[in-house]
């Protein structure tokens, strides 16, 4: 498994697991937990969740029973809970739901109305208390990252989790290079664009690799320097397919065809999010 290194030297697998929408159907939770465990068996030990994802944290808790030491857990606090006091309380609630003593990486889900220095202060306090191992942000654009970096505690931000896939490459213009310069890995959520990847070019490349278009798309994300992909799957068969993308080595011809079909940005473009955080849609 390709490993990605954080500024503090910690390494994690480049291919992890997302949990968006998990736990909503109580009758499916066992199957979802089994899928997460299967992913861990394959080496996909980074598991991403959030307080916003309804009962996904409970599914993660079930998956981690007897295996906490194998997993690297990421969770997120909502901007509405990003005051100092509410951030600490939200973290403690997530810890209880996850049934663990420490969240390995705790993120602010997207920029909100509370001053970032207040949220970062809470993050630092939680690190000192041993309740989180580190912290970062999600859905921050280049200006927000630059401001965050100069805020007290901002230079300890470990990652920026972003919407990134073949059809949404806006971060490549300035944000991704900036993160690389600061040695900050990017965590790519929705790396398969939620299955919306109908492309004859991808099918052609997939045929050459005896793969599917989704595996090619995921292999492209994994090919990117300092990028961690966290596709969500509650099906063991899909996890096996995702894992197989690690074996695909895209050629220069493949990469050129992909750039022709899914052009990188030619100038500054506003970053995107799945859904609309402003109106409370789930990311």
Query: Around Cβ 260, how many Cβ atoms within 10 Å?
Result: 9
How far is the C-alpha of 95 from the C-alpha of 89, rounded, in Å?
10
pLDDT of residue 281: 33
Q: How do residues 242-251 score in pLDDT, each as one tens digit?
A: 999 999 999 9
Residue 256 burial (CB < 10 Å; 0-12/13-18/19+)? exposed
pLDDT at 172: 98
Which parts of the chain have pLDDT scores under 70?
A: 275-283
**Using one digit for the tens of pLDDT, what is the confidence trace for 180-207?**
999 999 999 999 998 888 899 999 999 9
- For residue 282, the model assigns a pLDDT of 33
> pTM for the complete prediction?
0.95
Cα 275 → chain centroid: 16
pLDDT at 41: 98
Distance between CA atoms of 72 and 239, rounded to whole angstroms? 18
The per-residue pLDDT for 4 is 98
């Amino acid at each position: 498994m390709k490993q990605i290194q954080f500024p503090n030297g910690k390494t994690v697998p480049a291919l992890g697991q997302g949990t968006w929408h998990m736990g909503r159907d109580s009758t499916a939770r066992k199957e979802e937990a089994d899928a997460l465990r299967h992913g861990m068996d394959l080496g996909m030990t980074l598991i991403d969740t959030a307080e916003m994802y309804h009962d996904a944290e409970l599914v993660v808790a079930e998956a981690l029973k007897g295996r906490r030491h194998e997993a690297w857990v990421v969770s997120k606090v909502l901007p509405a809970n990003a005051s100092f006091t509410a951030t600490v309380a939200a973290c403690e609630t997530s810890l209880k739901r996850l049934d663990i003593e420490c969240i390995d990486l705790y993120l602010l889900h997207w920029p909100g109305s509370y001053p970032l220095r207040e949220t970062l202060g809470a993050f630092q306090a939680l690190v000192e208390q041993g309740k989180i191992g580190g912290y970062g942000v999600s859905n921050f654009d280049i200006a927000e990252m630059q401001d965050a970096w100069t805020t007290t505690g901002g230079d300890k931000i470990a990652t920026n989790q972003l919407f990134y896939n073949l059809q949404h490459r806006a971060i490549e213009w300035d944000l991704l290079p900036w993160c690389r310069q600061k040695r900050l890995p990017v965590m790519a959520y929705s790396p398969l664009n939620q299955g919306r990847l109908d492309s004859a070019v991808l099918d052609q490349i997939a045929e050459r690799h005896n793969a599917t278009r989704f595996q090619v798309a995921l292999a492209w994300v994994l090919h990117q320097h300092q990028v961690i992909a966290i596709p969500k799957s509650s099906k063991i068969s899909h996890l096996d397919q995702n894992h197989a993308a690690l074996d695909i080595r895209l050629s220069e011809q493949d990469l050129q065809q992909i750039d022709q079909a899914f052009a990188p940005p030619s100038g500054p473009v506003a970053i995107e999010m799945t859904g609309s955080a402003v109106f409370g849609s789930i990311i």
